[in-house]
Amino acid sequence: MMDPRTCEQLDACRPGRADWEDDELAQLAEELRNNRELRELAARLEDLDQAIASALIDVTPPAGLAQRIMARIDQAHPPLAAAPPATPAKTAAQLAAPLIAGLSGAQAEESPAVAPTARNGGWSRRRWIVVASSIAAVAATVALTFWPAGPTRLDPEEIIAAVDRLYVQEFQQDEGWQTTAPHGTPDIPRDVLARPVAWRQTQVAGADAYVYDIQNARGKRAVLVAVVCQGNRLPAAPPSQPQSSSGRMISVWQSPQQTVTYVLVVEGTVADYRSFVVLGRSLT
């Protein structure tokens, strides 16, 4: 039976951050080292947090969308023309008046028709159906237009080539970096033993990507790129043997949910690369 306080501390840890390294959670860190069941639970909770974060990607509608939707509704369903006034129905007494007059020999006088009582104001059922159908159609159109589709699928060679090119053209420049990442930016996976120093956003082979300037415990810097795409034939953890390109070590892997592909670029040797990653079972 797991200690409820331990579970409570584990739930309080933020995804992508080693909160248990804080002094206040020293007991939790000790239990994680000694309890395999607790480590597996931590990995499952991390997977769940990342799945929820991926599902809650904010989508900002373009300016003037509401006005365009209402204009399209007005064009598709113009106001209905007013129906001509109905002829007032005659009452039973009025219909019987000619017969009574004939029997009595008197000239029948038509009494004014009594106008039917007007129904309470409000929308008819047909108008409600028209409006409801219009709203449903517009909602479906907006959903198809702006609802995020599944992640782009890219080959590892294509991802590495694009990142290596961007590394030389953009990532080594001082311009374009920011110190605080906005809400919704993918967290650095636990497989990477470094903290973010700065970040920027770019496109990798047509897919959205978040770039981190990271620093490990030795003070060495590297670049981590989180590409929002599925990578074909990719492992779910950093490989032990990276690829080499012009003195740079480059590795690529994907998250367990297969929604984010990570690319790590480290200047130096294989040993320098391995100082940034946890090799073995992924806790991404």
Q: What is the pLDDT of residues 19-37, one digit of tens each?
A: 666 777 777 777 777 878 7
- For residue 37, the model assigns a pLDDT of 79
Cα separation of 32 and 101, whole Å? 106
Cα separation of 255 and 50, whole Å? 9
Residue with tokens 């040797």: 269
How is the chain split among helix, strand and coil, in percent rounded to 5?
40, 20, 40
Cα separation of 93 and 111, whole Å? 9
Cα separation of 154 and 233, whole Å? 10
- For residue 45, the model assigns a pLDDT of 77
Q: How many CA atoms lie within 13 A of 217 on its CB side?
A: 6
Task: Reduce the DSSP state of residue 89 to 3 states and report it.
Answer: coil
Low-confidence ranges of the chain (pLDDT < 50): 106, 108, 110-111, 113-121, 124-126, 144, 146-149, 282-284
Cα separation of 200 and 98, whole Å? 92
Q: Is 45 left (phi over 0), alpha (psi -120 to 50) or beta?
A: alpha
- Here the tokens at position 219 are 């003070």
- For residue 139, the model assigns a pLDDT of 59
A 10 A CB-CB count for 261 gives 28
- For residue 165, the model assigns a pLDDT of 92
Q: What angle do CA 37, 256, 259 make, to 5 degrees?
A: 150
Task: Reduce the DSSP state of residue 32 to 3 states and report it.
Answer: helix
Cα separation of 51 and 102, whole Å? 88
CA distances from 145 to 35, 72, 139, 142, 187 (A): 47, 15, 10, 5, 27
A 10 A CB-CB count for 78 gives 8
Cβ-contact 259, 283 below 8 angstroms: no
- For residue 87, the model assigns a pLDDT of 61
Cα separation of 148 and 56, whole Å? 10
- For residue 116, the model assigns a pLDDT of 46
